[in-house]
């Protein structure tokens, strides 16, 4: 399945270049209109990111998130600033289908274990973002000493099965996904769902990922620039069932 991304900052939909908050492009002043457009096009799933939440460590765009949930009937996953069980439960109670845990997976693994135990692996996605295969944290402002594969291994042992893997250096660049990294991680963690993110340019990249047994992916800039169309996404998702 292809998940179109809506990145939220100060109540608006934006895109960043390589996660740099100084390189921001406004996509839509009213993100709910974006969600309605996707709904009308037959899109069945959305990837939301609370960028302010990722920076501040607590969710910041809840009103917009609630409004999007009201108009979009498909699956919604959300990440950004989710660092305790109360917030996970709150989002799930709002009708969000899956919650993405990012930095906290590295800093507070006990929280992830508790989330998986309480809500189940289908409701929890681990966001593994990296630069040169090292885990990036705190809204990608910092890089840890932990390898992406090491974090996935620990989270798999904790019971996680869904991982969004983002190459920070590819995100928003339109340079293509880091297929070699993704294939390596998929081969190592064959029982996990590795969701590709970062750099996907067009339907050719989508087909390359599907052929590499990586059918789930998040797209952003390619969609906004028209290199990947909503019709193409709907067709791929329809074929995926």
pLDDT per 10-residue tile (average), the chain, 241 residues: 95 84 88 96 94 84 96 96 93 97 92 97 96 83 90 97 92 86 96 96 96 95 92 87 57
DSSP 126-155: EEEEEETTEEEETTTTEEEEEEHHHHHHHH
Which segments of 30-94 does DSSP mark as H helices, in order?
31-40, 51-56, 62-71, 85-93
Asked if 129 and 140 touch (Cβ cutoff 8 Å), the reply is: yes
pLDDT in the model for residue 138: 72
Helix (H) or strand (E) holding 181: helix 179-188
Asked if 115 and 85 touch (Cβ cutoff 8 Å), the reply is: yes
Q: What torsion, rounded to 10 degrees, do the Cα atoms 111, 218, 73, 61 define?
A: 60
The angle formed by the CA atoms of residues 222, 220 and 209, to the nearest 5 degrees, is 70
pLDDT in the model for residue 23: 83
pLDDT in the model for residue 59: 81
pLDDT in the model for residue 169: 84
pLDDT in the model for residue 84: 93
Q: For residues 68-78, b (16+ Cβ closer than 10 Å) or e, as one string? A: bbeebebebbb
pLDDT in the model for residue 173: 72
211 vs 32: CA distance, rounded Å:
33
198 vs 167: CA distance, rounded Å:
6
Q: Is 142 a catalytic residue?
A: no
Q: Is 216 a catalytic residue?
A: no
104 vs 214: CA distance, rounded Å:
25
pLDDT in the model for residue 211: 94
All structural domains of the chain: 2-239 (3.20.20.70)
pLDDT in the model for residue 56: 82
pLDDT in the model for residue 139: 64
Q: Which pair of tokens denotes residue 31?
A: 């993100």
Nearest-CA neighbor of 69 among 89, 26, 98? 98
Catalytic residue among 50, 52, 67, 129: 129
182 vs 236: CA distance, rounded Å:
20
Nearest-CA neighbor of 152 among 180, 193, 117, 110? 193
Residue 190's contacts (CB-CB under 8 Å, 6 or more residues apart) are none
Task: Please state the separation of Cα 156 from the chain's center in Å.
Answer: 18
């Amino acid at each position: 399945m292809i998940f179109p991304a809506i990145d939220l900052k100060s109540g608006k939909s934006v895109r960043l270049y390589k996660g740099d908050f100084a390189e921001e492009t406004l996509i839509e002043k009213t993100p709910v209109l974006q969600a309605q457009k996707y709904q009308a096009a037959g899109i069945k799933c959305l990837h939301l990111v609370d960028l302010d939440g990722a920076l501040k460590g607590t969710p910041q765009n809840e009103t917009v998130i609630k409004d999007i949930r009201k108009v979009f009937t498909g699956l919604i996953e959300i990440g950004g600033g989710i660092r305790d069980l109360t917030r996970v439960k709150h989002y799930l109670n709002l009708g969000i289908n899956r919650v993405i845990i990012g930095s906290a997976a590295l800093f507070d693994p006990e929280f992830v274990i508790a989330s998986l135990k309480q809500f189940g692996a289908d409701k929890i996605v681990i966001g593994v973002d990296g630069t040169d295969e090292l885990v990036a944290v705190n809204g990608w402002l910092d890089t840890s000493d932990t390898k992406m594969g090491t974090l996935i291994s620990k989270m798999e042992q904790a019971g996680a099965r869904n991982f969004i893997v983002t190459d920070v250096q590819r995100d928003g660049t339109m340079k293509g996904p880091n297929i070699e990294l993704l294939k390596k991680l998929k081969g190592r963690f064959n029982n996990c769902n590795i969701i590709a993110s970062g750099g996907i340019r067009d339907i050719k990249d989508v087909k390359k990922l599907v052929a590499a047994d990586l059918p789930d992916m998040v797209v952003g800039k390619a969609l906004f620039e028209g290199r990947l169309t909503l019709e193409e996404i709907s067709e791929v998702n329809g074929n995926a069932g």
